[in-house]
Structure 1
Amino acid sequence: MGLIKKVTTWSYDDLIDYLSVNPTRDEVTHYKVDPQNEEDDSIMKMHSVKDFGNITCLDYSDFEIGLVAVGEKGGYIRLFNVMLGDGPEYDPIDIRTRAKQQRCVNTLGLNNNGLIAMGLDRNRTDASLQIWDINYQSTNSDIVNPTFSYCTNENIVSSKFLNETGIIVSSTKFLKEIDIRAPHPIYQHPTRLSYDIKLNPFNEYQFSSYGDDGTLAIWDKRKIANAAASSDLKTAEPLLVFEKLVGLGAASKKYMNSCFRWSTVRNREFATLHRGDMIKRWWLGSCGSAEEAEDGVEELFVSTVRDINTTYDRVVTFDYIPQSNHRTSIICMRQSGTVYRMPVHQSYTNAAFNNYNSLMLSNCEVPQVDELRITGGEQQSNIENVNKSMRRLSFEDLDLENDYMPDADDNEEEHGSLELTDGEENAHVSENNFSILWKPENLLEKDISVIIKTRAMLGYGLDPMSTVEMIDGSKTLQNNAYIRNTWRWLAIAKAAVDDGTMVSGDLDLGYEGVIGIWNGLSGISNQNRLREGKILTDKHLDKEIEKIIKLRRKHKHALGTKSGLSRFSDSPKLIQRKLCLIISGWDLSSADFEEKYQNIIKTGSYEKAAAWAVFFGDIPRAVDILSSATKEKLNLIATAVAGYMAYKDQPGNNSWRQQCRKMSAELEDPYLRVIFAFIADNDWWDILYEPAISLRERLGVALRFLNDVDLSRFLERTSSTVIENGELEGLILTGITPSGIDLLQSYVNKTSDVQTAALISLFGCPRYFKDKRVDEWVQTYRSMLNSWELFAMRAKFDCLRTKLSESSSGQIRADVKPRQMYIQCMNCKKNISKFDAGPTTKLSNISQPPNSGLSLSKKYGMTNTPSPLERQHRKQSCPHCGTPFPRCVICLLSLGTSNLPFVINGASGEQLGEEEQSDENCDAAKEPTKELESYERKKLRLNEWFSFCLSCNHGMHAGHAEEWFERHNICPAPGCSCQCSK
């Protein structure tokens, strides 16, 4: 059986020394290994000594570099310097000796003082453990002259020097520790687990051994010594016992048995070899610490076991190769004597994501944490830039830019695309089945949390139209077409709410969907669409809806579009159908149709323009559109469609209809498919069943041509489908209603995009209804923003929620967060604000409570109106105790004074920044937007606010403080040396 043994003290460079004995046990080889190089050429064979006679044991000297001792089965011990083994002029064998009674040498040990301990087979007259000094051994005699002798009539099978004077020895019957300065052992303990003692390099008290049947034991010599203190011999009690772990018949392979190795990298780890093709790594844990134990001995247990399949089979021995960063690899010897190294791929045992979606990884082997960090470029917030001037939109503009398609990412390196022939596919996938996977960094960058953070930094969702423009202009967002179209519908619906065209009297239908309007009272019964205390009947509802329709008509004229209503069938739900057509964008006149055709044709989508003509029931116009196309294929299709005019009135089946059905099944373009499907059977359901057509287009066909029963069935079936699938574009059908929240819940379950769900739901909740799911989304999104330290965006989100919760009557239905900071009076310690607005009160409508005294004075003709001087004094003093506000140390006017006789501009740096920005955007400088003007007004108001130094308590206007400390460091108050700016 072969042997590989790591030498820890010979090298002064970065290489590691190893000694090996080949499986035939007749050659000793010295290797040097580069631990950091995982290639096989990192194992360098340095020296080799041959012609031994059946080597049974081997040891080396830690003190003298290159000194090796070898024991042979014939009883001889050979000492030589392996570093000189290849020199032809030098005899590598320095000493060749044996015991007086020649017999097999089972074990050898060298210490730093030059002592050699050899364990021999049993002999009645000659001691089996003989310790002699290499410095006093005669080279003229081949018989050893022992200095110390122990264990007569015993079979010594293993021994290890603990230090210069102590040695632990085991025979087939006893385990004992000997101090060579004493004539008798310190202790001896009966045990059958006595072969191949190996010391733990991290714990001087622990060692291992095994028994005849391969049972492995882990010992602590302190516990053995304590147990042996009694006069009666007691059976040994190892810390851990592993039954038959190192293989059956281990005793027959006792010479240089190497199926066990203590780790030289990590404490409480060892490895064992099994079946020649698998190495098991064992990690031990302890119950408590050694200091807490009474005898100082740890209670060990097995915490983890990992299997490592060897690179090649028939491995007979191995050892650790320690590497940097507490990593390791393994050097192995096969039965043929070939030596190779095998990397150990460490698997992570713990993984966690931080708030920035970087993956934190750790394992039990390495005392450090690896981080897989997302290093994409930081997106700067452009919330000031996204508030572009939005032109007035109506529901008829829903189809604008409807052909938007996000840019496809064709980076094969990121996506690992495969293009294989049928013959190569199976073989390639079996060999490289990971090639279709994304790289970890790319996968994390595409994670929804990273996308949510990027969107938030850009002001996603704070304004619907700006969000649409943001999606159009960014490639890093998850800019799917359905998200973009949903925000566009929200932008148009919000514009309708803002201009009041969806409100009539006591009824507010803002953000309502098609199905809610179609179902009448039952569709809005679970929402707060009426003023408080109002009761709505079916007739009243029809009147209010008709008012909204007329209001929309006036708004449509104001927009400059052409008016006109399509012809509807005689229906009891005519009013609902008209409003449904309006909010779905299909309330178009014949002149509007032509305008839509031309807009679509400009994009080159002749197929879609022809299909829209069919949707409006104008087959001849569809033929004209296809005939005007430059593609010959479309001209031929126009000829086939023209046959509809000849066969539409002929009942029954014919070859033309059969050919149309065939083409509707074979054509790739969905619009051409629905054209042929309709003209073949003249059935609108053929269009409604086509999933490739957008929901809004199918909805327009249904509203225009289906009767009430079929339309109700279509709307119910379609709404159930979009809610179940979480299709965002289905919000045009459900609206921002409880049904819409069900749709958003399915969307969140499918995509985990809680950001979009929270922002969209704000437009209807809690203004029209309340839902616990929305509250959960809102709180989750707020927590995410706080964890990313996007506090400004979180504050804007809170303000948006409060603003959108305001009903048409001015009532705020959201729970307004109380102010976290306010200015208190230095005298009475109260808030200087007179009144606190309640959560359900419109902030702009806050008025003074009625004054009973004032009412009485008016009743009796008395006036109690304060003078202008008194009113000004009240504004400059505490409303509770009347204490005057402190004065600004710059202008000496009281803080809180309104309508100052001068303008406070603040720091000049901001003005310079604005000038630079205006140079870059000349158009914006020439035509300042309302948003910029509003920002300037708010900035000037902010410059008049209170500003205090927390050190010296001197106050000044905020703008004056900016102007002063831009050029000075000392407080402007006379006699004050406080450096307020620091």
Structure 2
Amino acid sequence: MSSVRLEVLWSPVHKDKFITWGTEISLYETSEKCGDIRRTDYVDLSETSSARLLATNSSYHYVKAVDIHPMEGSEILLAIGQANGKVSLTTFGPSNFDFLGINGMDMVPKHPRQCNVVSWCQNDPQLIAAGLDRYRSDHCVLVWDIQSRTGAAVVAEMGLSDMAHSLTWLPDHHKTLVVGMNNKLLKMIDLRDPSKAACSSQTKAVYGVTAAPYSNFMLASYLESQVSIWDIRAFEKPVLTLLQSKPITKILWCPTRNNLLGSLQRDTKSIYLHYIQQMEELDHSVVERSIRPGVSHQITSFSWHPLDENRLLAITLSGLVTDTYVSERITLNWAQSTSIVWTHGQRTLQSVSCTDSVYEMLGDISALMKLRATRGYGLQYEMEENGDLVDDENLKLIWRWLGATKRLSDEFNINLPTRHLGIRSVLGMDKTTPSSISTKSEAVLVPFNGAGSNCNAKVYRSDVRDKALKLCDWSFIHNLPQLLHAVESLQSQGEVTKAVAVAVFGLQLNTAIKLLSSSTSEHTTISMALSGYSNDNESVWRDACIASRLKLNDPYLRAVFAFLTADSDNYNSVLEEEEMAVTDRIAFALAYLSDSKLVEYLNKLTDQLTVDGNLAGLILTGMSSSALPLLQQYLDSTGDVQSVAIFTMKGFPPSLLESNRAQYWISSYRELLDMWRLWDHRAQFDIQHNARTSLKPEQQIYVTCSFCMKTLSSNAFSRNKGPFPRTKVSCCPNCRKPQPRCSICLINMGTPSQSDASNCNSNNGGMKINTFSSWYTWCQTCRHGGHSKHIIQWFEDHQECPVTGCTCRCLSLDATSFTV
């Protein structure tokens, strides 16, 4: 494949053969690669396919057009249009066409001129059409029958003194040609009456005319940099015109896809694809894209594979041929039940359920939410128990905070609309002046334990700061026994570096040094550095720690040395250590920042966490209106409407819970539960929600008499003076007609409960409550039914309704009964 070949063509009847042609014609056979074995007589087409040269024909030097005979089961037979107008039939060696006298046959026009196009008829493979240049006394379109008794015989002549630039056979219209002529006309010709044009259209887009293989009406042609799409039912003008950036050199319909047109532009390395979509009658739209077959040179031609979907060959100026599969634009359908279905060309892949291992890679939040819901997430009475049902540390943090704020409200008898206060509210920053703290803090100098006698740190204390530290779970910072217990607990959990930071922030250097010395060898070296602590701003120790601090990988160790080397109580390096937990940074600020710096830092941190959608920001905002934008940003980032709805239901005060945004989140989560058929979880969620809001659900179901159509609710009639007490009744209180009977046992609906005293519900005033198996159910189509247990038993052995004469197949109408 070293010589120049400008054109490539798949055989229409051989899935593994193609030809290339330019100065000579070559036949290749394709095959799949066998592992890493490289065969010297094969050339690579792609990573998975290669081709072997079978034969070469160099007998024709002025080839202008080539087409391959389309008869299935036959060998390769070429029709070659030449510069002198001659159309020659040839093969690549001995074949069955030799016995038929076809191989070597020449079809010569009356007057020599260039042949622009040759095309075999798909419906009648013995016919071949040729389009020629103009001659003043000859036709430009000739059709031969290669199997006539006298050899190749002209069966039709068309276009006297005209020029044929291109032509195509219509696949579903027997013996009908469409010809692009004279730079101004597309003409449809029926060979049964070639003297009369069936219809025509005035246009300059007369090049490359080609018929869509899967459409009875659609054509395409081109002129310079525009592609025209035609519908022969309305042939006056194109139904669609596609403008391109460069002149077109070739267009081809894909034979394996409906209405997919490929086009090639001059001096490009890409092939352009046009998906022609018919919206309504004669109304079309197009979706366009381009593909690059992986070549570094300009493409001169391409050819679609006749059978393999979305496969094509492309050839470059240097003669390099590549075998390419067009990646399909997938239509992805993600079901509410978390199953996935997508289409790929003419094949539809089966659904992938949430139990498939692929979901571990997808990280689908809907599947995760469903799993949490089945575990009872959000319905536990103790806040922390909900956190135990999730793996996300941020969610665990918020549930611990909700539990802590609830206990804090009970401890300090906080009588506010919300019991889940944020640190800003505890400090008094959410009142009229958010730029200050309600209680002035006291600055105290506290010495380091384990450093020189002149090593002190300025610590700020106040009642509101102590309360805020409890919300961060850092109440131990000013109590030595609790501090040592917290350090020991963190060490036992394997969080050594955090335990070291807690000890240092608690000014217990000796404890921190012992922790590091008993840990890894790397930590032993750090303990030696820590033991040399000095508060001298010009000491060699301080300069060395500042230089090497950023080389540490652990954020808590970086924060420790940033704290010890801070200049004039400037702790920005500690507070901006984003890899530290937000609560740890807030607790440090509560202990070591002055009132003004603390307010400035908390305002800045609140804004940042809100923009990031970080749930840790709830510790600052509390369950107040300030939490709404934060929760919305978290929802937009993660799609976790479940947690947002549950936090809203559990934590918001009634006035905020009834806001439009909160109710929208809750309604969205309810719909999800309904889609997942988690009816019990939905009912429990509604019970907890309705207990915290004055928005009561409206009655949606009414039981009415089928005779007088009035309500059968005994609650409504107990307010009247009628003789019916507030109990179940077996007849209509208005018309006295009996209520429907169970189709199986024939007992009327409304018959007093027969349950024994053990089924009494103490919360229902001692009334006897029927078990669910004694409740009435009915078919939504035929309206027949009865006690649930009787209906279930009936349909274990039957498909039709139990009522005599009713042919309704109730069970087959119940989609829920088929749910696995």
* TM-score category of the 2 structures, normalised to the smaller one: 0.5 to 0.7
Q: 1:446 aligns with which of 355, 360, 363?
A: 363
Counterpart in the other structure of 1:468: 387
1:518, distance to aligned residue in structure 2 (A)? 3.1
**C-alpha displacement of 1:729:** 3.3
Matched, 1:485 2:397: yes
- Asked if structure 2 preserves the Cα contact closer than 8 Å seen for 1:876 and 1:885, the reply is no
The CA deviation at 1:815 is 1.4
The SS at the match of 1:342 is: strand
8 A contact 1:219–1:239 mirrored in 2? yes
- In the other structure, the counterpart of 1:781 is 669
Q: Which has the higher strand share?
A: 2
Report the counterpart of residue 599 of structure 1 in structure 2.
489
What RMSD over aligned residues (CA atoms) do the two structures have, in Å? 6.3
CA distance in 1 between counterparts of 2:189 and 2:178 reads: 6
C-alpha separation between the residues in 2 aligned to 1:160 and 1:698? 76
Partner of 2:424: 515
Rate the CA distance shift 1:885–1:634 in 2: closer, same or farther, 3 A: same
Distance 1:725 1:673 in 2: 24
Give the aligned residue type for 2:771. Answer: N
How far apart, CA to CA, are the structure 1 residues paired with 2:11 and 2:460? Answer: 100
Question: Which of 294, 303, 314 does residue 319 from structure 1 map onto?
Answer: 303
Structure-2 change in CA distance of 1:599 and 1:260 (3 Å): closer
Aligned residues: 743
Q: 1:778 and 1:54, CA in 2 relative to 1: closer, same or farther beyond 3 A?
A: same
Aligned partners of 2:279 and 2:285 also within 8 Å: no
Separation of aligned partners in 2, 1:28 and 1:569: 91
Is the contact between residue 257 and residue 310 of structure 2 (CA under 8 Å) also seen in structure 1?
no
Spell out the pairing of 1:14-163 with structure 2 (5 A cutoff): 15=15, 22-24=21-23, 49-52=57-60, 54-58=62-66, 65=74, 68-73=78-83, 78-80=88-90, 84=94, 93-95=103-105, 98=108, 112=124
2:714–2:727 contact (8 Å) kept in structure 1: no
Distance 2:755 2:95 in 1: 102
1:307 corresponds to which residue?
A: 290
Residue matched to 2:575: 689
Matched residues in 1 for 2:740 and 2:139: separation? 103
2:252 to 253, 261, 270: 261
How far apart, CA to CA, are the structure 2 residues paired with 1:31 and 1:54? Answer: 21
In structure 2, what is the Cα distance between the partners aligned to 1:333 and 1:241? 27
Q: Is residue 744 of structure 1 aligned with residue 631 of structure 2? A: yes
Does the CA-based 8 Å contact 2:15-2:307 persist in structure 1?
A: no
Q: CA deviation at 1:798?
A: 1.8
Provide the rounded CA distance (Å) in 1 between the counterparts of 2:595 and 2:217: 90
Match of 1:562 in 2: none
Match of residue 265 from structure 2 = 274
Question: In structure 2, do the counterparts of structure 1 residues 517 and 318 end up closer, same or farther at CA, with 3 Å as the change threshold?
Answer: closer
Deviations 1:778-805 (A, max 9, x none): 22322333333333322222222233x2
1:84 is aligned with what amino acid?
P
Please give the alpha-carbon distance, in whole angstroms, between the structure 1 residues aligned to 2:178 and 2:796: 81
Of 459, 481, 500, which aligns to 2:376? 459
Structure 1 residues 612 and 683: alpha-carbon distance in aligned structure 2, compared to 1, 3 A threshold:
farther
In the aligned structure 2, how far is the partner of 1:128 from the partner of 1:153? Answer: 7
What are the Cα deviations for residues 635-688 of structure 1, in whole angstroms up to 9, with x where unaligned? 7877776777xx88xx98666776777787776655555656666679776497
Aligned partners of 1:246 and 1:273 also within 8 Å: no
1:862-901 equivalence runs, <5 A? 875=727, 900-901=756-757
Q: Deviations over 1:100-143 (max 9, x none)?
A: 7677666667775967777777778887777776567768xxxx
Equivalent residue for 1:858? Answer: none
Cα 1:524–1:885 change in 2 (3 A) is farther
Q: Distance in 2 between matches of 1:893 and 1:220?
A: 66
**Aligned equivalent of 2:622:** 735
User: Is 1:756–2:643 an aligned residue pair?
Assistant: yes
Specify whether residues 520 and 874 from structure 1 end up closer, same or farther in structure 2 by C-alpha distance, changes over 3 A only.
same
Using the size of structure 1 for normalisation, the TM-score is: 0.58
Asked if structure 2 preserves the Cα contact closer than 8 Å seen for 1:608 and 1:671, the reply is: yes
Q: Name the CA distance, whole Å, in 2 between partners of 1:569 and 1:69.
A: 96
Q: Sort the Cα spacing of 1:359 and 1:710 in 2 relative to 1 into closer, same or farther, 3 A.
A: same
Distance 1:92 1:222, change over 3 A: closer
Residue 685 of structure 2: aligned partner: 797
Identical aligned residues as a percent? 21
1:819–1:38 distance in 2 versus 1, CA, 3 Å: farther
Matches within 5 A, 1:36-435: 49-52=57-60, 54-58=62-66, 65=74, 68-73=78-83, 78-80=88-90, 84=94, 93-95=103-105, 98=108, 112=124, 184-186=195-197, 198=210, 200-202=212-214, 259-266=250-257, 268-275=259-266, 277-284=269-276, 288-289=280-281, 298=282, 303-312=286-295, 313=297, 315-324=299-308, 327-334=309-316, 338=319, 340-348=321-329, 351=332, 353-356=334-337, 366=345, 373=352, 375-376=354-355
Which 5+ residue runs of structure 2 have no aligned equivalent?
Answer: 34-44, 440-457, 812-820
Secondary structure of the structure 1 residue equivalent to 2:666? helix
The Cα shift of 1:510 comes to: 2.5
Instruction: List runs of 5+ in structure 1 lacking aligned partners.
Output: 228-236, 249-257, 290-297, 379-439, 472-478, 526-537, 542-567, 806-812, 837-847, 854-869, 905-932
Secondary structure (helix, strand or coil) at the match of 1:738 reads coil
CA distance in 1, matches of 2:797, 2:80: 85
Q: AA paired with 2:305?
A: I
Structure 2 CA distance for aligned equivalents of residues 570 and 281 of structure 1: 70
Q: CA deviation at 1:274?
A: 2.7
Residue in 1 aligned with 2:815?
Answer: none
Q: 1:657·1:681 contact (CA, 8 Å) conserved in 2?
A: no
Q: 8 Å contact 1:109–1:116 — kept in the other structure?
A: yes
One-letter amino acid matched to 1:452 = M
**SS at structure 2 position matched to 1:773:** helix
Greater shift, 713-722 or 32-41, is seen at: 32-41
SS in 2 for 1:470: coil
Q: Distance in 2 between matches of 1:374 and 1:117?
A: 54
Taking a change above 3 Å as real, the CA distance of residues 356 and 653 of structure 1, as seen in their structure-2 partners, is: same
The verdict on how the C-alpha distance between 1:122 and 1:802 changes in structure 2, with shifts beyond 3 A counting, is: closer
Aligned equivalents of 1:202 and 1:954: distance in 2?
A: 52
Kindly provide the amino acid, as one letter, of the partner of residue 489 in structure 2: N
Displacement of 1:239: 6.9
- TM-score normalised by structure 2 residue count: 0.68
TM-superposition CA deviations, 1:478-500 (whole Å, max 9, x none)? x3323212212223444667xx5
Cα shift at 1:446: 1.5
The structure-2 alpha-carbon separation of the partners of 1:95 and 1:457, relative to structure 1 and needing over 3 Å to count, comes to same
Cα deviation, 1:861-900, whole Å, max 9, x if unaligned, reads xxxxxxxxx99x7656699959999999799999655983
**What is aligned with 1:918?**
none
> Against the structure 1 CA distance between its residues 746 and 596, is the aligned structure 2 distance closer, same or farther, given a 3 Å change threshold?
same
Cα distance, 1:335 vs structure 2: 5.0
- Per the TM alignment, residue 980 of structure 1 is displaced from its structure 2 partner at its CA by 14
- Contact conserved, 1:117 with 1:129, CA < 8 A, in 2? yes
1-structure distance, mates of 2:10, 2:216: 18
Q: 1:522/1:193 Cα in 2 relative to 1: closer, same or farther (>3 Å)?
A: closer
Give the conservation status (yes or no) of the 8 Å contact 1:514–1:735.
yes
CA pair 147-49 structure 1, distance change in 2 beyond 3 A: same
Distance (whole Å) between structure 2 residues aligned to residue 223 and residue 963 of structure 1: 61
Residue type at the aligned position of 2:302: F
Q: Which amino acid aligns with 2:327?
A: Q
* Cα separation, 2, equivalents of 1:84 and 1:468: 81
1:61: how far off?
5.7
- Decide whether aligned partners of structure 1 residues 265 and 641 sit closer, same or farther in structure 2, where only a CA change above 3 A counts: closer
SS of equivalent residue, structure 2 residue 775: strand
Matches of 1:196 and 1:150 in 2, distance apart? 19
Please name the residue that 2:817 is paired with.
none
Amino acid at match of 1:786: D
Kindly state the Cα deviation for residue 961 of structure 1 after the two structures are TM-superposed. 6.4
Q: Report how far residue 759 of structure 1 moved.
A: 1.5
Q: Decide whether the 8 Å contact of 2:305 with 2:311 is kept in 1.
A: yes
Offset of residue 357 of structure 1: 5.2
